Structure 1
Amino acid sequence: MARMKFICDAERCIECNGCVTACKNEHEVPWGVNRRRVVTINDGVPGERSISVACMHCSDAPCMAVCPVQCFYRTEEGVVLHDKDICIGCGYCSYACPFGAPQFPGEGTFGVRGKMDKCTFCAGGPEPNGSQAEFEKYGRNRLAEGKLPACAEMCSTKALLAGDGDVIADIFRTRVIQRGKGAEVWGWGTAYGTQAKAGV
C-alpha cells in the first residue's frame, strides 16, 4: 500500500501561492484557515527560498499523541485525518504540530474556536466518500476519485509533489542529481550536517 507524502522542492517554488488558492477553492476552506501556506526564508536577501507547508501526515504524528479524545486517525494510505464530530477544540494538536497544520477556523461551519481544521491530503474524512456531509466538514475527497491533492496538481513549477512517498522521493532525488548538486542542496547541511557528501 502506498504511503502518501508531500515534498516541496525549494529550488522550484516561486512563491506564487497557487497551491494555497487551489486548496481554499477546492474545499471551500473557512475564512481564517489556511490548510496550506507558503513560507519564505531569508526574504529579500541572497539565498531566499520558499516552501509550501501543510500537514506532513507524519508516520509518528504528534497531534495523534496529544489528542485527549483521540479524534486523529491514520488511513491505510498513511494520511493523518481527524474526526470533527469527536474533536473538542482543545487546541493541543496545534501546539504539538511542528508545521502548524491544525488550526481554529475564524468562522464557518463550526463557528469561532470550534473544531480544529487541517489538511486532509484531499482524502475527506470519516463520512461516506463523496457525501455532502463529508464535503461540508472536510472538503472534496479527491483520493477516492483517483486524483492527487489539488495543491500539487495546480503547482505551476511542479515544486510541490504529492503521492506515494517512494515515488516522489525518487523524482526529487533525480532532480537533485540532474542539477549536479548533492550536499549543496538547500537545507541539506542543516538536516545532515556540513560534512554530508553528494549522493549520500
Structure 2
Amino acid sequence: MSACSGGCSGGCGKSAAKPATDRRSLLRTAGAFAATLLGPGVTLYAFGGEAKARPQNEPASPTKRWGLLIDLNKCKIGCTACVTACNDYNGLKSSGLPEIDAQWIRKVTLRDPRTGVERSAPVMCQHCADPPCVDVCPTGASMKRADGIVLVDKHICIGCRYCMMACPYKARSFVHEEHDDQKVNAPRGKGTVEGCTLCVDRVDAGKNPACVDACAREGGAMIFGDLNDPESEISKALRAMPTVKLRADLAVKPAISYANL
C-alpha cells in the first residue's frame, strides 16, 4: 500500500490489526489505518550510534521509539529557549490574545509546599504509547506513527476537539484564526487541532527537535533519542538516574521522562 500526500508530517509503518469488537478498539484501528494511508515519511536507522535519514518513500520504523529525557536540575527557571525555538521553527506567533494562542510547549513552575523548592518544567505532548487522543478521534486524524510520534492529520481533522478533552497534559491547541504565513514543515489550518510533533521533519532528517538544540545552548536539560536502543544516550541516561513520567498512574506510557522532578 502506498502513502498519499496527507496533511500529517510523517509516515507510519504497516501493521495488521485484529478485528475491532468495541468502540475503543474501532477507534484505535481507524487511527492506525489513517496513519498507514496518509503518512508520507522516512525511517531512521542507527549505524554505530549515529542517526541517518532514510529515503522518503519508506515508512517510519516500528523498531524505533523516540523520546525525551528532561533533567530539571539543568532547566533554569525563567529560561524559555525551548518555547521560543518551538514557536520560531513552527511559525507560532502571538495573536495578542493568550487564551487562543497555540502552545506546543510551555514552561510550568512546580513548587514543593513542604520545602519551598521550585522546579521549572517544559510540558508538551507526551507522545504516549497508548494515546487517549487517538482513541477518541472519530476520523483517525489523531494518529500515532510506527515509531511512537503522535501527530494530527489536518486534512481529516474536523475540529471536534475530543482529543483536547481526552489529553491529560493539556498539550493540544485549537487553531481559531486563518494563518497566511505558515511554515512548510508545520501546516496549520483554521478549525483544526495541533500540538508538538517532536519536529518530526527534523527527526526524519536525522536531527534533534528544535527545542532540544536550543536547550543545548542553555544548559543541556534535554536529551532526545531512541528509547529502544540500549546504547543510545537517552537509554544510558535513563538507566543512570531515577526518573518519573507525568501522570504515570494513567498508564498511557509517555515517551517523555523527567529527572529531579
Interval containing the TM-score (normalised by the shorter chain): 0.7 to 0.9
Q: Aligned in 2, Cα 1:104/1:122: closer, same or farther, shift over 3 Å?
A: same
Q: How does 1:142-181 map to 2 (within 5 A)?
A: 142-155=202-215, 156-166=218-228, 167=232, 168-174=234-240, 176=241
Q: Secondary structure at the match of 1:23?
A: helix
The normalised TM-score by structure 1 is 0.73
Structure 1 CA distance for aligned equivalents of residues 73 and 209 of structure 2: 21
Q: Secondary structure at the match of 1:77?
A: coil
Q: How does 1:51-200 map to 2 (within 5 A)?
A: 51-109=121-179, 110-111=189-190, 114-123=191-200, 141-155=201-215, 156-166=218-228, 167=232, 168-174=234-240, 176=241
Contact 2:103 2:172 in 1 (8 A): no
Q: Give the number of the structure whose residues are more often helix, by fraction.
A: 1
Contact 1:20 1:37 in 2 (8 A): yes
Q: Partner letter of residue 37 of structure 1?
A: R
Q: Aligned in 2, Cα 1:22/1:46: closer, same or farther, shift over 3 Å?
A: same
**Cα deviation, residue 36, structure 1:** 0.6
Structure 2 CA distance for aligned equivalents of residues 17 and 172 of structure 1: 24
Are positions 1:24 and 2:87 aligned together?
Answer: yes
**Cα deviation, residue 43, structure 1:** 8.2
Could you tell me which residue of structure 1 aligns to residue 64 of structure 2?
2
Gaps of 5+ in 2: 1-62, 95-100, 180-188, 250-261
Contact 2:82 2:214 in 1 (8 A): yes
Number of equivalences: 163
Structure 2 CA distance for aligned equivalents of residues 105 and 82 of structure 1: 13
Q: Partner letter of residue 40 of structure 1?
A: T
Q: Aligned in 2, Cα 1:60/1:191: closer, same or farther, shift over 3 Å?
A: closer
Q: Please, what is the CA RMSD of the aligned residues?
A: 2.4
**Cα deviation, residue 106, structure 1:** 4.0
Q: Secondary structure at the match of 1:20?
A: helix
Gaps of 5+ in 1: 124-140, 177-181, 193-200
Could you tell me which residue of structure 1 aligns to residue 109 of structure 2?
40
Structure 2 CA distance for aligned equivalents of residues 93 and 100 of structure 1: 10
Structure 2 CA distance for aligned equivalents of residues 43 and 20 of structure 1: 24
**Cα deviation, residue 170, structure 1:** 2.1
Q: Secondary structure at the match of 1:103?
A: strand
Could you tell me which residue of structure 2 aligns to residue 134 of structure 1?
none
Q: Give the number of the structure whose residues are more often strand, by fraction.
A: 2
The normalised TM-score by structure 2 is 0.57
